[in-house]
């Protein structure tokens, strides 16, 4: 049985999920899916910790999509988890980030299952989308080109 709040939230966040999915990101919604990806993946993964906040909508999601489109150093995998919605999946993903404090939205670049670069909310919120995009594109160039 689902309650009205859960149904409402699913309807609200669906377009926020689809924005990344439609851009080629794979959505991981369970802790098992995250663990499997992180333990078995080879190469680089761009991980967006999605959120319902305005800085995710106006900054993090568009910046991630545009950074991938503009860089020649493409990550091998595009991954997203949704903070506040897929709580177990998000917690499992964050467990792979070591001592990095939880932050959403945030963007991580993972190489062979190890955190290589992290952009926390503080480096997203209050910045122009183009700044976040260029920051991420630079990180992708640095990590993916190796």
CATH number at residue 114: 3.40.30.10
Domain that holds residue 93: 4-144
Spatial strand order in the sheet of 106-111: 26-27, 77-82, 44-50, 106-111, 114-119
- Catalytic site residue from 20, 55, 60, 109: 55
> What is the per-residue pLDDT for 1?
54
Is 144 known to be catalytic?
no
Q: What is the mean pLDDT of the chain?
A: 94
Instruction: Count structural domains, the chain.
Output: 1
- Taking residues 118-142, report their average pLDDT: 97
* 94 has pLDDT over 80: yes
Choosing from 53, 83, 124, 136, the catalytic residue is: 53
């Amino acid at each position: 049985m689902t309650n009205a709040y859960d149904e409402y939230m699913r309807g609200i966040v669906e377009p926020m999920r689809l924005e990344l999915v439609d851009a080629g990101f794979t959505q991981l919604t369970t802790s098992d899916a995250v663990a499997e990806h992180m333990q078995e993946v080879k190469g680089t993964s761009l991980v967006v910790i999605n959120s319902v906040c305005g800085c995710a909508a106006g900054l993090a999601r568009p910046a991630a999509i545009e950074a991938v489109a503009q860089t020649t150093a493409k990550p091998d995998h595009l991954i997203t988890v949704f903070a506040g919605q897929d709580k177990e999946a998000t917690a499992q993903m964050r467990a792979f980030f070591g001592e990095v404090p939880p932050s959403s939205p945030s963007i991580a670049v993972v190489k062979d299952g190890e955190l290589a670069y992290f952009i926390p909310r503080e480096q997203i919120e209050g910045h122009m989308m183009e700044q976040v995009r260029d920051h991420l594109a630079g990180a992708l160039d640095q990590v993916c080109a190796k």
